[in-house]
Amino acid sequence: MPKTKEVTFSIPGWVSVKLEPNDAERRAAWKLYVELATRVGSQSFDSSTGSVRAGLESLYGVFVLTRSILREAGPDVARTENSFGPLAIGFLTEVLAPFLLKWNEPLREYEGQRKPEISIIGHEHNWDRYVDMCKNFDDIRPTLQGYVNALADIAGVSRTASADSKALVPA
């Protein structure tokens, strides 16, 4: 098997990592890349039309997918602390979990107060914490996009175009 290429990346607001992915790590990173790059939570959030609940559910789905992908890939993706497996688990526990824990229950409590004649999005927009939550989505997005880019690098594929970036394809 040919020697793999070393990958170095920095994820804004979180970590800098250098690793040499094996085939199992590249395949696992590709699977997670496809899922995360296409999720609402990793894209720009339009507060005039978007649903913060949909964003939270999309990001929670990353937990389920990551666990499944890591179980399927097995220990070959966790050879060292700088392997794909520990990186993926760290992303869940250090980045996503704090964000989801901060917003899920307060939003759920507020959602329980919605009157049937008020739309879900209209009700969300009336929440006194709505602007703060949208700001937090904006604050976490560079880290999410950095993780998506890192997954592309690990998988050895070109990065996708993003509304937030002009040049995501590595030189």
Q: For 95, what's the count of Cα atoms within 13 Å in the CB-facing half-sphere?
A: 26
Q: Give residue 80's identity as a one-letter amino acid code.
A: T
pLDDT of residue 106: 98
pLDDT of residue 4: 61
Q: What is the pTM of this model?
A: 0.86
* pLDDT tens-place string over residues 69-94: 999 999 999 999 999 999 999 999 99
d(CA 53, CA 67) in angstroms, rounded, equals: 22
Q: Which residues contact 93 (CB under 8 A, 6 or more apart)?
A: none
Q: Hey, what are 45's tokens?
A: 């959030």
Question: Number of H helices and number of E strands within the chain?
Answer: 6, 2
* pLDDT tens-place string over residues 135-157: 999 999 999 999 999 999 999 99
pLDDT of residue 167: 32
Q: Alpha carbon of 29 to those of 18, 82, 85, 96: distances in Å?
A: 15, 14, 9, 17
d(CA 27, CA 31) in angstroms, rounded, equals: 6
Rg over alpha carbons for the chain, rounded to the nearest Å, is 17
d(CA 153, CA 146) in angstroms, rounded, equals: 10
Closest Cα to residue 36, out of 101, 104, 80, 87? 87
Per-residue pLDDT of the chain (171 residues; tens, 9 = 90+): 445 689 998 998 899 999 999 999 999 999 999 999 888 767 777 777 789 999 999 999 999 999 999 999 999 999 999 999 999 999 999 999 999 999 999 999 999 999 999 999 999 999 999 999 999 999 999 999 999 999 999 999 988 654 334 333 332
